[in-house]
Amino acid sequence: MASTSVAAGAAQAYTYTRPSGLDGGLLGLSTSGGTTTSGPQPHPHFFSGVLTQAAPAAAGLLALADVAQTRYHQPRPTSFRDPVVTCNGDRLRMESFSACGGVYARLDVLEPAMDGDVHERGTTNVDVNGPLREALARVGGSDPLHLAVGAEELAVTTMDGAVVEKKVPLPDRWLRGFAEVQVITAGFDLRAELKATDAVRFMRSMPRGQRETLWAVPAGRTLRLVPRPAAGAVCLAGPDRLRTMMPLLRFARALRIYGPPPEGVDGPLSSVWELELPGMRYVLTLSPRHSRGFSGEGAVLDALSADEAAGDADLLVALLSFEPRVEPDLLAERSGLSPARTKAALTQLGTSGRVGFDAAEAAFFHRELPYDPARVADLNPRLRSARALVEEGAVRFTADDAAVVLSNGGERHVRFEENRETCTCPWWFDHRGERGPCKHVLAARIVRRSAEATVEVAR
């Protein structure tokens, strides 16, 4: 593999045969280390052909790059992380994450905007450098743009025979965030949709410099921003984080907003904002607060702690082949798993970055992020601590719905209530389950599942 992580959270090394560039109407994106249907490739060759909508595609790629180099909370200079690109056959998905870990961005170039040959399916990093960004900013008009993603003609070294190498910091929170956002958004539904003119009007009316959490309430053909949760509202945490959409508004056809069920909402939530462009979609997913990254949300912890789901996930991943839309019923039939176990296994795959979630189609898609999926579990300190408590025998159930966990010389009392668990530890008191389970709840869940599995086997 040409792209490897070195030391936990230290750096990501990218190796390209030459810089990406835009020359004579050809946009050549160099690739670095990826996984394809035929296995790992140092420089995979995915697509060559024409993008029929050059200007919005160039603007969308620039918007992705802007997110990747932005630290929305406490802004300061940061290293640029190259976008992740997946070829699913009928589309190209380009993904990036903000440096602060609070904004996930994706540009989906769909079949109507692609005219060419798919040479391979899979996932890789692509080089986006300064000169390329300057060239993309000059793309305009309606002329088509020729695109090569890892094309054979680019698989040559530079004039002096050297390869292009980059090594950039890749914080653990960045990797965890990529996993968290897929699991969080899998439960989202469409909450509001604006037509092009209304979308432009709403976006341009947003307050500038606003970092506080607001709520977008449907009001006729538009949305009204209010300071507190309201019936039918969608959380907009830090409106300024939608600014990368502004240069894309001239191409907009619609704006759609996705969020969790509104019932019982009393605090900030994540949300998905999708701008429909000609033949493509630009998507931003925002964390619940401007100052809060996805890495600490804890949505993946339950799935990561389930041994059965981990085994089922290994079975499912062998059946995936970079499909643009993963069909759970078909996977259940092919794997022999129940629908419930198939869903749990897909969630597990989301926690390791091996599937993403597309809110527009309410479906998972297969991709393999260019880092070791086994690292995600190791990057969650709460899960590590919970497993250590289990190994120490620190969990004792006093009833079917209650446990005592010995931790740091004291007792923490865990209760399993309808649809949630509670704990007497400071973490639960501070967050009330809003940022995932504490280590004591996780440890109790692990012990409880183990006991239930033992009873099931005995039957």
* Per-residue tokens: 446: 């692990």
Q: Compute the average pLDDT of residues 309-319.
A: 83
Q: 77-128: per-residue pLDDT in tens?
A: 666 788 999 999 999 999 998 888 889 999 999 999 999 999 999 999 999 9
Give helix 307-317 / helix 439-458 axis angle, nearest 10°.
80
Q: In whole angstroms, what is the distance from residue 224 CA to residue 309 CA?
A: 42
Find the largest Cα–Cα distance for the chain. 73
- Give residue 224's pLDDT band: very low, low, confident or very high (50, 70, 90): very high
Please, are residues 164 and 16 in contact by the beta-carbon 8 Å criterion?
Answer: yes
Predicted local confidence at residue 366, as pLDDT: 93
Is 161 a residue whose pLDDT tops 50?
Answer: no
Q: Compute the average pLDDT of residues 298-306.
A: 56
* Per-residue tokens: 224: 């009204």
Predicted local confidence at residue 392, as pLDDT: 92
Predicted local confidence at residue 354, as pLDDT: 86
Please, are residues 148 and 17 in contact by the beta-carbon 8 Å criterion?
Answer: no
Closest CA to 412 of 421, 423, 402, 401: 423
* Per-residue tokens: 151: 């094309």
Please, are residues 13 and 6 in contact by the beta-carbon 8 Å criterion?
Answer: yes
Q: 225-253: per-residue pLDDT in tens?
A: 999 888 888 999 889 999 999 999 999 99
CB atoms within 10 A of CB 130: 10
Q: In whole angstroms, what is the distance from residue 293 CA to residue 287 CA?
A: 6
Given the structure tokens 């931003």, which residue do they identify?
284
SS3 405: strand
Q: In whole angstroms, what is the distance from residue 132 CA to residue 254 CA?
A: 28
Q: In whole angstroms, what is the distance from residue 294 CA to residue 181 CA?
A: 7
SS3 440: helix
Please, are residues 235 and 268 in contact by the beta-carbon 8 Å criterion?
Answer: yes
Question: What torsion do the CA atoms of 32, 35, 36, 40 make, to the nearest 10 degrees?
Answer: 90
* Per-residue tokens: 263: 């019932």
Predicted local confidence at residue 276, as pLDDT: 97
Predicted local confidence at residue 154, as pLDDT: 39
* pTM of the entire predicted model: 0.82
- Give the amino acid at 313: A
With a CB cutoff of 8 Å and minimum separation 6, the contacts of 340 are none
Q: Compute the average pLDDT of residues 419-432.
A: 84
**3 state SS for 223-249:** EEEECCCCCCCEEEECHHHHHHHHHHH
Q: In whole angstroms, what is the distance from residue 411 CA to residue 404 CA?
A: 6
Q: 171-222: per-residue pLDDT in tens?
A: 667 777 777 888 888 889 999 999 999 999 999 999 887 778 899 999 989 9
Q: Compute the average pLDDT of residues 3-27.
A: 71
Predicted local confidence at residue 1, as pLDDT: 38
Q: In whole angstroms, what is the distance from residue 420 CA to residue 22 CA?
A: 53
Question: Where is pLDDT greater, at 5 or 354?
Answer: 354
Q: Compute the average pLDDT of residues 26-39.
A: 90
Predicted local confidence at residue 158, as pLDDT: 37
Please, are residues 240 and 209 in contact by the beta-carbon 8 Å criterion?
Answer: yes
Given the structure tokens 């079949």, which residue do they identify?
111
Is 278 a residue whose pLDDT tops 90?
Answer: yes
Predicted local confidence at residue 27, as pLDDT: 92
Predicted local confidence at residue 456, as pLDDT: 54
Strands of the sheet with 4-6, listed across from one edge: 4-6, 11-16, 164-168
- Give the amino acid at 189: D
- DSSP assignment string, 151-163: -GGG-S--TTSPP
* Per-residue tokens: 22: 């835009």
- Give residue 2's pLDDT band: very low, low, confident or very high (50, 70, 90): very low
Predicted local confidence at residue 346, as pLDDT: 85
% of the chain with per-residue pLDDT over 90: 42
Question: Where is pLDDT greater, at 431 or 283?
Answer: 283
Q: Compute the average pLDDT of residues 26-47.
A: 91
% of the chain with per-residue pLDDT over 70: 83
Q: Compute the average pLDDT of residues 404-410.
A: 90
Given the structure tokens 């004291």, which residue do they identify?
410
Is 280 a residue whose pLDDT tops 90?
Answer: yes
Is 299 a residue whose pLDDT tops 60?
Answer: no
What percent of the chain is helix, strand and coil (3-state, nearest 5)?
A: 30, 30, 40
Query: Where is average pLDDT lowest: 163-177, 232-246, 276-290, 312-326?
Result: 163-177
User: Bridge partners of 365?
Assistant: 356
Is 4 a residue whose pLDDT tops 60?
Answer: no
**Quick one: which H or E segment has residue 235?**
strand 234-237
Closest CA to 65 of 30, 16, 98, 36: 98
Cα dist from 129 to 20, 126, 166, 199, 450, whole Å:
7, 10, 11, 31, 50
Question: Where is pLDDT greater, at 134 or 349?
Answer: 134
* Per-residue tokens: 258: 């996705």
**3 state SS for 95-121:** EEECCCCCEEEEEEECHHHEEEEECCC
**Quick one: which H or E segment has residue 197?**
helix 196-205
